[in-house]
Every structure is written in C-alpha cells, then in structure tokens.
Amino acid sequence: MSIQSFVDYLSLEKNYAEHTITAYQKDLEVFQNYLLDEFSDGDLKAINYTQIRSWIIQLVDGGLTNRSINRKVSSLNSYYKFLIKIGDLKHSPLAKHKALKVQKKVHIPFSEEEINTVLSGAATHDFEALRNKLIVELFYSTGIRRSELINLKISDVDLAQQQIKVLGKRNKERYIPLIYTVQDTLKLYLDMRNTLKQILVPDFLFLTQKGAKIYGTLVYRIIYTYFSEVSSKVKKSPHILRHSFATHLLNHGADLNAVKELLGHSSLAATQVYTHNNIAELKKVYAKSHPRQTKV
C-alpha cells in the first residue's frame, strides 16, 4: 500500500488539515529513505521494530528533541494502524513501542492587566490599526486558534445572534458568543473594510491593506509586537492569548466543560492543561479563608 493511499485516507476520510497531512507524508517519506539508505529496502510493510529503533537512535544522535521524535513516530504509528484497518497488515511493528519522555511545556498566560493595557492603548485611526486591535480582541474573547481566525469568513459573523461560527480541526464547526466590546470593534472594522480600494478575497473577514487574505506570520507578528511593549514573557503568540482566554475564564469560575466547548477540544484532558493557574488561585483562597489555616 503506497503512502499516497494513506494521504488520501487522511484527506478524504479523516478530514485532516492540509499542513497536518503534509507533515505525516514527509515523516513517512523520510523514514522510507532511511530504510533505503541503511537496509536497501524501502518497503514500509516489511520492517521490524529493530529497524524503527535504529532510526530513532539516528534522530536522537542528530539532535532532534524527544517531542519531535515522538511526533515522527506517531506518523508511522498512524500509517500502520491504517494498514491494519484495510487488512494489509496484521500487526504493527510499533505495538510495544513506548514514547520518549518529554518535559511538559509550561505556557505562561498574559495577565489580565497586560491584556487590558494592550487593548486600552491600541490605536484605531486607520484600517490596519483597527484590524490589529480586533484580532487581539477576538483571540482573547473567543480563544480561537490562529488558523481559525485566518479562515474566518464574513458569513461566519452573525451580529444579530452575537456570535461567530468557527471551523475547527477536522472541519468541526462550533459557535462562540461575542462580548459587546468585540461587537463594537467588529462593526467599526466591517465599515472600514468596505472602504478598501480593492478586495481580492471578499469572502474572508480579515484582509491585508491590499485586500488579500491575511497569513500566519502576519498574525503572529501583530500579537508579538503588541505584547512586547507590555510583557516581559518569553513567549508572545496567538496561542498564549488562547491560553490566557481559557485560564482567565477558569480563574473567574467558568465550568471546565464549557471552556472545552469554546476551545473546540475533543476531550476534556486537552482542556485540563489550562487549570494549573486556576489551582493556584484556589490555593490562595484556601490559605486565606479556611478556618483551620494558621499563619506562621
């Protein structure tokens, strides 16, 4: 069974995002080339775990992080599960493989004060300034992913119902309410958007000054620029705003399941990573309020 058949499966049946499919395909092709170089045989179905392990050792020696290696092995694992599913393989050579240990990433959210400082000081005098402020507001008030924001369309905005429709991972739709401040900025932006000299992609909500669809590096640069002025945190990205959205909601008493739905997570476990700051707040309340707590 060719790699292309697996790629078609991911695209047509699993509805994976294009960049995810590309990563899977590249991992498989790199491994296949390794087999050809080391064992003179690129048949992915005719290998054993020893060969996979030798590849992993080569990746480690090459300086790749355990997290990156686990991702590559995960691509192989998905491929072998696919072969088993269609009956081309009985047992996966990765059946007894254990993932390499990785340190958990600690995402430090922006503080409420930092976000309020950015939004209160954000200019709105021209199209780009207003667009950039709206991008920050949408990230923080909805928790959407960068790719979801980039692909928002005019038709996804429903001001009458005070909500937006978001197309998440695996084409899963969800609706997120819009708070009043965002609605106000959104209305101003839509009015100014209509004054652009040319609009090359009329369906999409966020455009460049030249009327083209915005892109990932631009969105990242907008967030980094704004928060570099108010925050000393190392990581300043759209994902940190998403993290801040979830953390602040939980700190203010939001239900974990509700936050899960807003974020578009498929499992509660994925949302629980955002609870560490909430636990810290609970500890402060506990230490301050419990009648048996004694001060040292």
Q: What is the mean pLDDT of residues 22-32?
A: 93
Is 169 assigned a catalytic role? yes
The per-residue pLDDT for range 45-101, each reduced to its tens digit, is 888 999 999 999 999 999 899 989 999 999 999 999 999 999 999 999 999 899 898
Burial 197-210 (b: 16+ CB within 10 A, else e): eeeeeeebbbbbee
Joined tokens for residue 154: 């005019």
Residue 54 CB-density burial (10 A; 0-12 exposed, 13-18 middle, 19+ buried): middle
Residues 6+ apart with CB under 8 A from 259: 143, 246, 249, 250, 271, 274
At 184-202, the pLDDT tens digits run 999 999 999 999 999 999 9
Half-sphere exposure of 141 (CA within 13 A, CB side): 22
For CATH 1.10.443.10, the residue range(s) in the chain are 112-285
Measuring CA to CA, which residue among 142, 140, 166 is closest to residue 153? 166
Tell me which residue has tokens 């072998």. Answer: 80
pTM as predicted: 0.67
Length of the chain: 296
Active-site residue, from 145, 146, 193, 260: 145
274 annotated active-site: yes
Neighbour tally for 48: CB within 10 Å: 8
Q: Write the single-letter amino acid at 27.
A: D
Q: Is 248 marked active-site?
A: no
Given 16, 80, 226, 274, the catalytic residue: 274
| CATH 1.10.150, the chain: domain bounds | 3-85
Structure tokens at 283: 């500890």
CATH 1.10.150 fits 3-85, yes or no: yes
| Residue 99 phi, psi (nearest 5) | -60, 150
Catalytic (active site) residue 174: no
Pick from 207, 206, 236, 234: nearest CA to 223: 236
* Chain centroid offset of residue 199 CA: 28
Considering the candidates 174, 213, 239, 276, report the single residue annotated as catalytic.
239
Write down the catalytic residue from 107, 193, 242, 260: 242
CATH no. of 112-285: 1.10.443.10
Q: Which of 71, 97, 153, 169 is catalytic?
A: 169
Report the alpha-carbon distance of residue 241 to residue 221 in Å, rounded.
13
Examine the residue annotation and report whether 239 is marked as an active-site residue of this protein.
Answer: yes
138-142, 167-171, 241-245: least confidently modelled range: 167-171
* Sheet order of strands, 163-167 included: 157-158, 163-167, 173-177
**pLDDT at position 157, please?**
97
